Each structure stands twice: as C-alpha cells, then as structure tokens.
Amino acid sequence: MTPRPHDTVAPGRSPHEAMAHAIGARTPGVGDYATPIAGLSFFRRDAPAPPVVCMVEPSIVLVAQGAKQLWVGGAAYPYDTSQFLVTSLDMPANSEVKAASAARPCLGLVLKLDVRTLAELAAQGGLPPHRDRRGSSGVGVGIGTATAALLAPIGRLLELLEEPDAIPVLAPLIHREIHYRLLMSDQADKLRQIASVDGQGHRIARAIDWLKLNYTSPLRVDELAARVQMSAPTFHHHFRQLTAMSPLQYQKWLRLNEAKRLMLNEHCDAASAAFKVGYESPSQFSREYSRLFGAPPRRDIEVLRGGARNVEALAAGAASTATTTADLELQAAASSSD
C-alpha cells in the first residue's frame, strides 16, 4: 500500500504516530525492509522474540510502536518510543523484541551513521563539551532521549519517501542534520569517541575493520595493536571496554557466524565451514559453536532451516525484505510459539 502524498504529516498526529503510519504503510509483513533512501531501513515484528545473535554497526534505531532491547556483554539496553538506541561500532550483540502483537506490531527504523560526517561536524566546533573527561564513554552502545529536535529531521526524511525525485538532493542534507542532532544529544560522547581521528575509539574502529577483512588469518594482538598505533595493553583494554569482548573473542565471533552462514545458505558441512573460516580442528569448532549458539552445528542448522520454512509459510506474499537480524528474530519467535 502506498501512502497518499503528505499523509505522514496529517494534522493531529504526533511524531511517533506519523512515523508508525509511514513505516506500517511500507511494511506489509513481518521483516526488515530497505528504502530508496541510502542507509535507511524499516522493521516490523508481530510478536515478542527472545534474544538472537546479531552484528550491530554505527547506527541509530528508533521505535515508533512497541519496544525492543539490545544485549551487549551481559548488559541490557531496553528502549521504547521515548528513546533511541545508538551504536558507535561494529560489534556482536543480541537483539530482542519486547513488545509486539499482530494488532499492534513493533514498528521502527534503522539509520546507518557515517563516521566521516560525524568527524566533519565535530571538527567545526560549537558542540557541547565532553561529559566524559576521561576521553572514553565505555561500551559503544547507548540509549538516548528521542527529543523533538531529533524527531523533526527524522520525520522530514520519511516524508521524502513520498517525493522520490527529491531524495538525491534533500536526503544528504537531512542526514547531515540528524548527525548534528545526535552530536548535540545526551549520547554525543558515544559518537565522538569514534569521530575523533586521534581518539582511542577511532583506532579501535580501524582494528575492527581489519579484523572483519582478515578474520580467517591467525590473530597476533600485539601486531594488530601496532597497526593502529597503540600499545598491546592499551589496545586490549580499550577494545574490551568498547565492545565488551577481547580481540580474540571478536575474531572467534566473526568466524563462527560466517561458518553458520556458510552452512545455512551455501549448504557447507560443518568440517568444510570450519576450515573455510580459519579453524584447524573441527572438534574445537564444534565446541565453540555449541558454546555460542547453544547447539552443535548440524542440529542448530536443522532447527534454523525448519524455522525458516515456518516463517516463509507465514509470510507468503509479503514483499521481499532486506537481510538483517530479521530472519533470526522471526525464527526465534516461531520457536517460542511452538
């Protein structure tokens, strides 16, 4: 269903009601949906779902209806319509749907953040002083207040979906304004720690980029620390502080999740997947896989394929969706209802 022109700003609607209407009109079924605006996607969930493994990236998440929760390093970050979730680094997490139903689904958006834009705005000055005088704000996840100043450009960004020809010209301007509002928000320090080229957070982000490209290779932490111009102890401390895990644990997470993808999508057997992602011992791979996902590789993949078939049956006829954490959340919801 395509909304009528300017329907998202109908008189009497609150910002969240307008957002929920716009998202609901473009999410015909449960799942994640890309939009014509680069970096902007929508999600819809019709039932609560337990935590599932995911990889977050620099982004903000706003819930227009319902509630969600992110788990990082054993800490919970719940958020609803009055708040936004911000993540400043690519890091493993667990995503949970807390409040959703068929009558009142959980509706929201994810907007990817551009570190270069954050750095440019931070360099221009005029921003509030750092609240964290130590130069670090802990793990790269935070919950902020969804103020009117932030919701206004978000609303204008959604309105652009009704004017496709204006998207190439206006979307970058609104996107930049949203970055500015975030740097003025109560979560500014989370973003400043990666925006500053000389900051520890920026160096950890560079190390993460390297790990994502080289996760199949043996990891020597001291060499990676030197690559980003940090001592090994300082690197290890800040890496764990920002991601809630060590560099070796991060590499292991990347390997295991890529192996899972290979088995699920490319029908690799467990031993082949293990070798492809850098494991030399299939038995070690199986142990570590079970520890992370709660079941041996073969059994886990069988359950996921069965869950995927159930989801496909429920979502028949729905529009194609973007591939993100939706698949896992849907499978978790299906399993919890059995």
In the predicted structure, residue 331 carries a pLDDT above the cut 70:
no
Q: What whole-number distance in Å separates Cα of residue 81 and Cα of residue 45?
A: 15
Taking the CA atoms of the chain, what radius of gyration do you get in angstroms?
A: 21
Q: Over the stretch 210-221, which tens digit does the pLDDT of each residue have? A: 999 999 999 999
Q: Over the stretch 49-100, which tens digit does the pLDDT of each residue have? A: 999 889 999 999 999 999 999 999 899 999 999 999 999 999 999 999 999 9
Q: Over the stretch 89-128, which tens digit does the pLDDT of each residue have? A: 999 999 999 999 999 999 999 999 999 999 999 888 777 7
Q: What whole-number distance in Å separates Cα of residue 335 and Cα of residue 294?
A: 14
The whole-model pTM stands at 0.81
Q: Over the stretch 170-208, which tens digit does the pLDDT of each residue have? A: 999 999 999 999 999 999 988 988 887 778 899 999 999
Q: What are phi and psi of 254, to 5 degrees?
A: -60, -45
3-state secondary structure the chain: CCCCCCHHHCCCCCHHHHHHHHHHHCCCCCEEEECCCCCEEEEEECCCEEEEEEEECCEEEEEEECEEEEEECCEEEEECCCEEEEECCCEEEEEEEEECCCCCCEEEEEEECCHHHHHHHHHHCCCCCCCCCCCCCCCCEEEEECCHHHHHHHHHHHHHHHCHHHHHHHHHHHHHHHHHHHHCCCCHHHHHHHHCCCCHHHHHHHHHHHHHHHCCCCCCHHHHHHHCCCCHHHHHHHHHHHHCCCHHHHHHHHHHHHHHHHHHHCCCCHHHHHHHCCCCCHHHHHHHHHHHHCCCHHHHHHHHHHHHHHHHHHCCCCCCCCCCCHHHHHHHHHHHHC
Q: Over the stretch 225-281, which tens digit does the pLDDT of each residue have? A: 999 999 999 999 999 999 999 999 999 999 999 999 999 999 999 999 999 999 999
Return the pLDDT at 11: 58
Q: What are phi and psi of 42, to 5 degrees?
A: -115, 160
Return the pLDDT at 322: 37
Which structure tokens are listed for 96? 């949970």
Q: How many other CB atoms are there within 10 angstroms of residue 74's CB atom? A: 7
Q: What whole-number distance in Å separates Cα of residue 273 and Cα of residue 264?
A: 10
Domains in the chain: ranges and CATH: 7-195 (2.60.120.10), 200-294 (1.10.10.60)
